[in-house]
Chain A
């Protein structure tokens, strides 16, 4: 940018623990999401290692019975709600306002609330391990396994309220993403020029908004069943366990698109940059995301083919599930066409993104098998299903997330991740992943049931299971390399310029790392690749716009600090929202309240007090403080 913007002294700390606890900056919130998710990934990964250790040989005694059930349930729940979703939310939080030329999210404090709710919800869920046993009914929590009769401890209650807290976090962050992407785009950045990561995050946010309330309602009903003696899922009194499955999978199937669509968006950003070509078929990629979103709500009962629904219902859901392959394949062909004929730079982000395409296709093909009712009847509840969803969620989402971290790390920290360690990481992750999960396809075809803590010798399953366990440990090693790379690069990584990859989206116009206000001047967008325009069309400086400061009287009333320079076109004020502790207090109140419902009633009034305090002070605190602004 041509005009440097000088920050005036601030009324609050910019460093230290308190500045992070009170932050409302979307970039810091994004980092918090990712740090929290990395912590929970360690726990979830450890659980995976325990599971694979137990299954390495037949009749093993490492982790048996209820302990296995708890670890299995928490592995699934952790990886879905505490790792993949928050990593995608964190990346979106950091990158999307930069990509669309905004200075923050639409609701900065709600954003901070979302990240605290995620962290406290995750801690709450994991507290169950030390407070009487973790949930043990699987991440899908099928009734009547979750009924008081069959699960007497508090594990299921921790699960119920943990998911409710995390649901609140997801809903608030989705409202924020939708509003931000629809309302805060820079001038000229029409929906038809919106970066594809923002497109897929927008669709994902709508999926969360329409899917999450279904499980939220189901969890409330389950809690009433367990503690108020209602009969929603109790077949003995006319209740219906299938009602749970419908309500759960009405959420649960869109949930898998919630985890894959932003990953597809990441890949659609990374591949063009490293192929040095525009994305092939931008419109098709964007609209196929919307199509996946719509079809995603009409396929949930393919998780229930084996429960005995009428044939016509099974046929409908089978057809819907097969239909998902169309927009998905459109994307895959677009990615391949993007790489085709490009001047490919085989850097770490490209390697992970290209691997995503290959592995996701394998996962998707497995999904097509399972969408066919007779095949599903044969394969349901076997390791084939486990192989399928790990190829989509690990080979898919996780590879894309790792690509995104290699891609945006220079922007976030101002330093590159080490390329040689990155290649080692990639080799280990790719080999380890395929060794761990490809054999599960075969185990499933041979009939090995999932969710069971051991298997007998002599069924021909030994060598493939051992292979899978070896692969899992190589996969774990790859993440040791990854974390070592991150730690090393944070202190000694090569310094990154503002635009290290010759990128085309607006975040590369900002310094690395970006200042709190992101853009000194909001850029004007002329095309889908605004930064390439500035570099390659002889237009070195995007036309600066003077921010419209005086919209109407309302604005002056609301902000209360228009200053003396209003109307002076040489001056520009950037108003940043004031830091606030109250989002954290509000999230803590809800968590303590939930703890009271599950453990001791004394926490209920404490939680309600914190909730009321946080809410009242939040509403009373103005979004912008008097002393807090920067100007040029």
Chain B
């Protein structure tokens, strides 16, 4: 009982922290599904002002590559930790966080272009839906960056091949946020 391991009665051999994250992410799926449905329903109902064709593909494509690369870095961080190479693991965690920050900076640049060109959240339904979907995703990326940084910096002495769950849990969340971006990239930027 006094651990994160299942009791002797359970058929399910999984660390309780990991199961909790999985369950939480399942719930998050519905959150983003709701936002994406709202976007799909509304984005073509523009009465006046900018439409989806205002969006440029350059920055989102770079951002997609950045996030996918960051997922690789996250995988390497966990693999190195399990191999007993804690320093390499922390270096890869910091790389992941740095890529997340790059994503957020580029997203900010993209937003400022939009605002400059008159695509604002209140200009029309497309603006509302676009900023809601991408904004809530960006907020999740920001939370992920803080999470990974606190694991990499705050817990760095406690990480070990036996205590890899903090890294794996942050990784599960990070990969989920990346996957959501892939869905948003397809729905918002490619399907138009």
Contacts and interface: CB of A to CB of B under 8 A. Distances in A.
Chain A partners chain B = yes
B41 A238 contact: no
Contacts of A66: none
Given A104-B1, A229-B121, A547-B1, A239 B9 contact: no
Given A175-B20, A575-B2, A243 B12 contact: no
Given A184-B7, A525-B9, A179 B23 contact: yes
B126 to A, nearest CB: 8
Given A171-B27, A237-B124, A619-B150, A243 B7 contact: no
Contacts of A508: none
A230 B128 contact: yes
A232 interface: yes
A183 B7 contact: yes
B129 to A, nearest CB: 7
B42 interface: yes
A213 B122 contact: no
Contact of B132 (A103, A209, A224, A555): A224
Interface string B12-28: 10101001100110111
Nearest to B135: A224
A394 to B, nearest CB: 29
Contact of A210 (B8, B30, B163): B30
Interface stretch (B31-39, B64-72, B176-184): B31-39
A250 B11 CA distance: 33
B121 A213 contact: no
A458 interface: no
Given A103-B1, A240-B41, A547-B1, A554 B128 contact: no
B48 to A, nearest CB: 9
A345 to B, nearest CB: 31
Contacts of B158: 557
B162 interface: yes
A371 B91 CA distance: 59
A238 B1 contact: no
Given A238-B125, A243-B41, A186 B7 contact: yes
Nearest to B19: A179
A184 B5 CA distance: 9
B174 to A, nearest CB: 18
Interface string A81-103: 00000000000000000001111
B160 A551 contact: no
A213 B28 contact: yes
Contacts of A624: 2
A290 B2 CA distance: 31
A190 B10 CA distance: 7
Interface string B119-138: 00110110111011000100
B132 A238 contact: no
Contacts of A189: 9
Interface stretch (A214-222, A263-271, A332-340): A214-222
A569 interface: no
A186 B70 CA distance: 41
A185 B10 contact: yes
B156 interface: no
Contact of A182 (B4, B10, B28, B42): B10
Contacts of A525: 9
Of A100, A103, A209, most B-chain CB atoms within 10 Å:
A209
A176 B34 CA distance: 24
Contacts of B150: 619
B24 A175 contact: yes
B58 interface: no
A239 B42 contact: yes
A107 B38 contact: no
Given A212-B27, A214-B30, A243-B42, A228 B16 contact: no
B6 A184 contact: yes
A145 interface: no
Given A217-B35, A240-B41, A190 B1 contact: no
A186 to B, nearest CB: 5
Contacts of A237: 47, 124-125
A232 B129 contact: yes
A553 B1 contact: no
A239 B125 contact: yes
Nearest to B46: A238
A102 B7 contact: yes
A170 to B, nearest CB: 10
B47 A183 contact: no
Interface in A168-214: 171, 174-176, 178-179, 182-191, 209-214
A217 B31 contact: yes
B114 to A, nearest CB: 14
A167 to B, nearest CB: 10
Contacts of A547: 1
Interface centre among B3, B47, B124 (most CB of A within 10 A): B3
A278 B120 CA distance: 63
Interface in A399-433: none
A548 B8 contact: yes
Given A216-B31, A217-B31, A232-B125, A555 B5 contact: yes
A229 B45 CA distance: 17
A563 to B, nearest CB: 11
A246 B35 CA distance: 12
Contact of B8 (A182, A209, A545): A545
A552 interface: yes
A559 interface: yes
Contacts of B127: 230
A522 interface: yes
B162 to A, nearest CB: 4
A23 B131 CA distance: 41
Interface string A323-359: 0000000000000000000000000000000000000
Nearest to B14: A183
A554 B132 contact: no
- Interface centre among B10, B19, B131, B136, by most chain A C-beta atoms within 10 angstroms, is B10
B53 to A, nearest CB: 16
Given A188-B9, A189-B9, A228-B121, A106 B20 contact: yes
Contacts of B122: 228-231
B128 A232 contact: yes
A106 B16 contact: yes
Contacts of A214: 30-31, 34
A247 interface: yes
Contact of A107 (B20, B42, B129): B20
B43 to A, nearest CB: 10
Contacts of A554: 160, 162-163
A558 interface: yes
Given A185-B7, A232-B132, 10 more contacts: A175-B20, A175-B24, A185-B9, A213-B28, A213-B34, A220-B132, A230-B128, A231-B124, A238-B124, A545-B8
28 contacts: A100-B9, A101-B7, A101-B9, A104-B1, A179-B16, A183-B6, A184-B16, A185-B7, A186-B7, A210-B26, A211-B30, A213-B28, A217-B35, A220-B136, A229-B122, A231-B122, A238-B125, A247-B34, A522-B7, A545-B8, A547-B1, A552-B162, A554-B163, A557-B162, A557-B163, A558-B163, A619-B150, A620-B154
Instruction: State the 7 A-B residue pairs at the shortest beta-carbon distance, nearest first.
Output: A575-B2, A229-B122, A230-B128, A213-B31, A238-B45, A217-B34, A554-B162
